[in-house]
């Protein structure tokens, strides 16, 4: 079911009396990147996905976003849907948002699942890369940006073996509004570093990382997981940065096994 909360497109699936899981997508995708997880988990859990401000079917506005605003949006959805101790699950940019949300108030969550993400803020080098991406969108258009960026997110195996899905994902990314995509780049480059907070996370966490993820590689994620007391880390085989899409069977089982014992 689709609803609008705080100008954001929010999608729910499953019985609302069940334990809730709220999924936060990566950049520059939308809620549908979690379709395989929702299909699998909504039999036993109340699944919530949404489009981050500026992307998918959510409001674009003036494109002046911050990670703080994204976190505020997440808390608003939790409150409007009356979710009690939801499990939070974020990929990459959704993971940055999840780290920040947990830092603001970990007590409202039962646990957190971090997929292909990192706790560190952007280095100067990455900030400059993002500045160049904004320039590219301004000068060459969003399609050129998507054609350059999205291939770096997927493993070569996925691109070859699931070429139709991969092409559809790129087409979907191109339907975003340039102002929303540029706003997300600015929100990411201006986010704070969550590393100092890692040792204070006390709720259970699961960390999943594609074996071929070059953007947030397994060794980086393993290091982050090692700084959290109650953490479990798994490498997702045959996957790049988009593990929930590239190897949904492994990711679904890892999530299910983790949450059923909470």
Contact set with ligand MLT (CB under 6 A)? 26-27, 92-93, 153, 188, 215, 241
CA dihedral defined by 9, 117, 83, 204, rounded to 10 degrees?
170
The nearer residue to ligand MLT, 7 or 214, going by C-beta atoms, is: 214
The nearer residue to ligand MLT, 85 or 127, going by C-beta atoms, is: 127
Q: How far is the CB of 44 from ligand MLT (least distance, A)?
A: 27
The nearer residue to ligand MLT, 207 or 241, going by C-beta atoms, is: 241
Q: How far is the CB of 172 from ligand MLT (least distance, A)?
A: 14
Cβ 216 vs Cβ 242: under 8 Å? no
CA-to-CA distance for 116 and 127, rounded, in angstroms? 19
Q: How far is the CB of 130 from ligand MLT (least distance, A)?
A: 8
DSSP state string for 89-112: EEETHHHHHHHHHHHHHGGG-SEE
Q: How far is the CB of 215 from ligand MLT (least distance, A)?
A: 5
The nearer residue to ligand MLT, 14 or 56, going by C-beta atoms, is: 56
The nearer residue to ligand MLT, 38 or 93, going by C-beta atoms, is: 93
The H-assigned helical ranges of 154-197 are 156-161, 163-174, 178-189
The nearer residue to ligand MLT, 74 or 81, going by C-beta atoms, is: 74
Cβ 215 vs Cβ 241: under 8 Å? yes
Q: Where are the beta strands (DSSP E) in the chain?
A: 2-5, 8-13, 20-24, 46-50, 87-91, 111-115, 205-210, 231-236
DSSP annotation of 189 reads H
DSSP annotation of 196 reads G
Cβ 158 vs Cβ 246: under 8 Å? yes
Q: How far is the CB of 18 from ligand MLT (least distance, A)?
A: 28
CA-to-CA distance for 62 and 73, rounded, in angstroms? 16
235 DSSP β-pair partners: 209
Q: Is the peptide bond before 28 cis (omega within 30 degrees of 0)?
A: yes
207 DSSP β-pair partners: 114, 233
Q: How far is the CB of 103 from ligand MLT (least distance, A)?
A: 18
The nearer residue to ligand MLT, 8 or 30, going by C-beta atoms, is: 30
Q: How far is the CB of 209 from ligand MLT (least distance, A)?
A: 12
């Amino acid at each position: 079911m689709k609803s609008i909360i705080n100008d954001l497109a929010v999608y729910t699936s499953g019985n609302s009396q069940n334990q809730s899981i709220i999924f936060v997508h990566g950049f520059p995708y939308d809620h549908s990147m979690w379709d395989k997880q929702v299909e699998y988990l909504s039999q036993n859990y109340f699944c919530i996905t949404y489009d981050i401000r500026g992307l998918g079917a959510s409001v674009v506005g003036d494109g002046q976003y911050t990670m703080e605003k994204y976190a505020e949006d997440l808390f608003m959805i939790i409150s409007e849907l009356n979710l009690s101790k939801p499990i939070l699950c974020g990929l990459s940019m959704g993971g940055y948002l999840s780290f920040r949300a947990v830092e603001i108030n970990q007590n409202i969550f039962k646990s957190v699942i971090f997929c292909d993400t990192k706790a560190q803020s952007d280095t100067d080098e990455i900030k400059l890369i993002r500045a160049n991406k904004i320039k590219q969108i301004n000068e060459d258009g969003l399609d050129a940006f998507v054609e350059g960026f999205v291939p770096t997110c997927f493993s070569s195996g996925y691109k070859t073996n699931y070429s139709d899905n991969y092409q559809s994902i790129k087409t979907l990314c191109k339907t975003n509004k340039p102002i929303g995509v540029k706003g997300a780049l600015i929100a990411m480059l201006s986010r704070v570093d969550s590393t100092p907070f890692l040792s204070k996370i006390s709720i259970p966490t699961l960390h999943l990382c594609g074996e071929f993820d070059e953007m947030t590689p397994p060794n980086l994620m393993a290091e982050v997981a090692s700084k959290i007391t109650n953490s479990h880390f798994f490498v997702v085989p045959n996957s790049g940065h988009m593990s929930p899409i590239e190897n949904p069977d492994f990711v679904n089982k890892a999530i299910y096994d983790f949450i059923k014992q909470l």
